[in-house]
Structure formats: C-alpha cells, structure tokens
Amino acid sequence: MLRDLDVIVPLWHAPPSMTPSAIVRECPQCSASIAADDRFVPWCPECEWNLRRPDSGRDAPTGRPGPLARLRKRLDARFAADLHRQVLGSGVGTPSRDPGRIAAYTLATLVHLFALTALVGGVWLLVASWPNPFGIVFGVAGVGFAYLARPRLGRLDRDVQHALTRQEAPVLYDLLDRVAREAGAPPVDVVLVDGDVNASFGTVGLRRTNVLTIGLPLWLALEPQERVALLAHEMGHSSNGDARRMSYVGSAITTLYEIHHAAARVRVGGGLRALVTAIAVNVLTGLVRLVVVGLIMVLESLTYRESQLAEYAADDRAARIASPVAVAGLMDKLITRAPAVRRHLESAAHRTGDLWEGLRRYLDGFPESEEERLRRLARLEGARVDATHPPTHLRKAFAVSRTYGTAAIATTDEEMDRVQAELERTGDRVAREIVDRAQAALYE
C-alpha cells in the first residue's frame, strides 16, 4: 500500500520524515557539491542547475507561449520595474491626487451615468408613450439594461462563509482594533477564516460591512510580527479605500462587458431586405463594440496600474505599523513558504492524520536550500500573488527601503498565543474544506 502512495505522490510531496537526511552529491553541470534534502528536488546554487523543478511547468499551458504572450510578459516586467523605481524614488505619493486614479474615476462615472440615463429614459418612455408598442420595447430595453448595469455590492453569505465573531475571538478583534486605529481605518466588522494561503479585505453589502478574510494556512506559516504586518497591510487597504474604489471602477467595467455582450453580431440570412437590415445592424453594433472594447482596455490598464500602486501603499503602511523588517519577512514567506504550503495542501487528499499537525511538521523541517531556490525562482519569474500585485520580490525590496523605526504595534507572546487559539477554533472546519477541495480536484 505504501508503495502505491509513493508512486502517486511525487518525491517532494512525500510526508516529511522527522530527521531530513542531507545527502551530498555532485552537480552534473558544474561539479560543485550539493547538499540536497531527499524530500526535495536537488539543485545547484553555484550554476543554478535544476532551479526550475521538473514539475514547475505542470500547470502551465503546454508548448511555448505565443509571440503576443511573450510581448505582454515583457511589457508587464517593464511596467513593474518602472513602478518600482517610482515608489522607491518618491514614495507612494498622495493616492487621491494620482492622475491615473482621477482618470479611472471620471471614466467610470461616465459609464454609471450612462446606465442611469438608460434607467430614467426607459421609465420615461414607458410612462409617456404608453401603450405605444415602440415605447414599450425601448422602455423595457432601457430598464433592462440599467438592471444589468446595476452596481454590484457583493454580499456576505453567512451560510457558506463562517464568520468568527467578536465574542468568539475577543483578543483577535482587540488586536485588529489597535491595528485599524493605527492605520486610520474603521474597525473590522466580520472576520472570516478560510483554507487559502492568502488574506484579503473587502467591503460588502448595502450597509458596507468591512470583512477581513484570513487564510489559516498562511497565518500558520508566519512569525508573530509578520502576522501583525499582514493585518496592517489589509487595514492599509481599508483606510486607503481600495475596496470601495475597485468596486466603483470594477462595476463600470462589468457594465461595459454587458454592453459588449448585448451588442452581439446578428446572423445574416433570409431575403434581400433582411440581409440589408442585418448588415446595417451589424455595422452599428460593430461600432458600439469597438468603442466599448476601447473603453474596457483603458479602464483595465488604469486599474492594473492603480491596484499595484495600492499594494505598495498598503505595504508602506504595514511597514510603519509592524516595522519594515516584518513586512519584508512577510514577503519572504509569500515567496518561500506560500507555494510550498499550497503544494502540501493540494496533496491533502492523500494524507491521513491531523492536517495542521502535518503542516506544522512540514514547515518546521523546511530546508534553507529549498527556500533559497524559491527566492531565486521568484526573482527569475517575477512571481506575484496575482496580476493585481507587483512581483513579490520587488515588494520585499520596497519594504526594506522604508526607513520607519520600531514598530508602532508590538505584541506579546501571550497575546499571540491567545489569538492563535481563537483562530484554531475554526481549524477542524477549515481542514475539512481543504481536504474536500483536494479530493474534488482529484476527480476534475
């Protein structure tokens, strides 16, 4: 039975032995001696032989990327480097005076006004021309379009997302209140705990509930002060109004996609008259689509730049609150531990025993050589949390460059232990979610 598992689970997924054995072998490329850990793929720090492990391209699309994808990647890297130079040189600036942000706001407002006009015009047509059939058709079309373009506020589904309440986690909420005050942010209303190797902040619903989501696996991979840095980063997003702005501009982009969808090409067919009509309609909708696609591209590129600037701004705030060292440490964990934890949890379906205990042992025995390999790989590939974030190694360099002194918020071991105990109340549920997800992925 164990043999079978060994075949299914690749070497680097194998459960960690208590004492990792270091084997010394010779690099096949430069003959330097490599001290390898038998649970991980060997690589050479001298000549970077095997830096990319054999399975790293597993999820990537097969074959070489096309010329367009390569160009895009190059432009992305150039853009990231330029923005990095800008924030290193002159800081994150005053976000509200950023010309890109003002342009995005203006364009989004025009789109929202357009949808509002459709609503008012539609209702007016219905009322004024009743019971004229043309009035009804265009009136309903206007109202229907406004419905599609309605602002999406998001909502908290308490049946699906389990909240950790203030009563259940008083020490965590206390710490959050302190961090929020220091960041100039309103208090967090709801804390959600999930199984992602991530954390996020959002504002949802008509009552604008402030929701902080903490991924338990990421939390476990961090040192105490790095956890404060993580909370401070998310509170930085809150005080900078990033979620609000993103949803304002984001819903304008959604509206534009709806228009693009509505202005679909009609099928040409039937008699001469139908043919002429269809061509005329297609020329018209084609023009609409062209304008809409142009607007989408402008708005998306503006938000692309903005969201990356927003990450730097949140990192800056976190550096002041939790210290630059803690933010740099957090970034380093995102580079080294986060991908390892993700891979470890993806194979949770093959494991038995306590998931968290297994993860803790895996992290305790995580070798420095594997961390170094992941650091070099992140630099090489410009690895990032996702497209809205600057490459993580650049964020780390930015954090290091901040000249803030000691942390504005420091915690005691006792406080962090209590926060830990409160978060672990969700441990069983979150572990079940992770195992379910890993098992579902097996059958996909």
First to last CA, the chain: 24
DSSP letter string, 397-442:
HHHHH----S-S----HHHHHHHHHHHHTTHHHHHHHHHHHHHHHH
Residue 15 has which token pair?
């459960």
The residues that bridge with 193 in the sheet, in sequence order, are 214
Selected binder of Zn ion within 8, 11, 23, 29 (CB under 5 A)? 29
Site residues (CB under 5 A) for Zn ion, limited to 192-251: none
CB of 25 to Zn ion, least distance (A): 11
CB of 234 to Zn ion, least distance (A): 7
Q: Does 51 bind Zn ion (CB under 5 A)?
A: no
From 31-39, 186-194, 319-327, 366-374, span contacting Zn ion (CB under 5 A): 31-39
CB of 29 to Zn ion, least distance (A): 5
Selected binder of Zn ion within 46, 223, 354, 368 (CB under 5 A)? 46
Q: Quick one: which of 235, 298, 246, 260 has its CA closest to 103? A: 298
Closer to Zn ion by Cβ: residue 255 or 307: 307
Instruction: Convert 157-193 to b/e letters by CB count within 10 Å (16 or more is b).
Output: eeeeeebbebeebebbbebbebbbebbebeebbbbbb
Please tell me the distance from the alpha carbon of residue 363 to that of residue 16, in angstroms, as a whole number: 9
Query: How many residues of this chain bind Zn ion (CB under 5 A)?
Result: 10
Selected binder of Zn ion within 12, 27, 197, 358 (CB under 5 A)? 27
Please tell me the distance from the alpha carbon of residue 220 to that of residue 363, in angstroms, as a whole number: 9
Q: Quick one: which of 217, 74, 292, 246 has its CA closest to 154? A: 246
Instruction: Convert 340-356 to b/e letters by CB count within 10 Å (16 or more is b).
Output: bbeebbebbbebeeebb
Selected binder of Zn ion within 9, 14, 15, 47 (CB under 5 A)? 47
Closer to Zn ion by Cβ: residue 44 or 214: 44
From 17-25, 47-55, 223-231, 425-433, span contacting Zn ion (CB under 5 A): 47-55
What count of other Cβ atoms lies within 10 Å of the Cβ of residue 45?
A: 15
Is residue 393 a contact partner of residue 374, using CB atoms and an 8 Å limit? no
CB of 317 to Zn ion, least distance (A): 11
DSSP letter string, 235-246:
HHHHHTTHHHHH
Site residues (CB under 5 A) for Zn ion, limited to 287-326: 311, 314
Closer to Zn ion by Cβ: residue 87 or 118: 87
Closer to Zn ion by Cβ: residue 189 or 311: 311
Selected binder of Zn ion within 5, 23, 30, 35 (CB under 5 A)? 30
Selected binder of Zn ion within 9, 10, 15, 49 (CB under 5 A)? 49
CB of 34 to Zn ion, least distance (A): 7
From 30-38, 127-135, 323-331, 350-358, span contacting Zn ion (CB under 5 A): 30-38
Q: Does 36 bind Zn ion (CB under 5 A)?
A: no
Q: Are strands 163-164 and 190-194 parallel, antiparallel or unpaired?
A: antiparallel
Selected binder of Zn ion within 36, 40, 43, 44 (CB under 5 A)? 44
From 40-48, 126-134, 211-219, 371-379, span contacting Zn ion (CB under 5 A): 40-48
Please classify residue 371 by burial: count the beta carbons closer than 10 Å to its beta carbon, then call 0-12 exposed, 13-18 middle and 19+ buried: middle
Q: Does 183 bind Zn ion (CB under 5 A)?
A: no
CB of 315 to Zn ion, least distance (A): 8
Q: Are strands 209-215 and 190-194 parallel, antiparallel or unpaired?
A: parallel
* Amino acid letter, residue 143: V
Q: Which residues contact Zn ion by CB under 5 A?
A: 27, 29-30, 32, 44, 46-47, 49, 311, 314
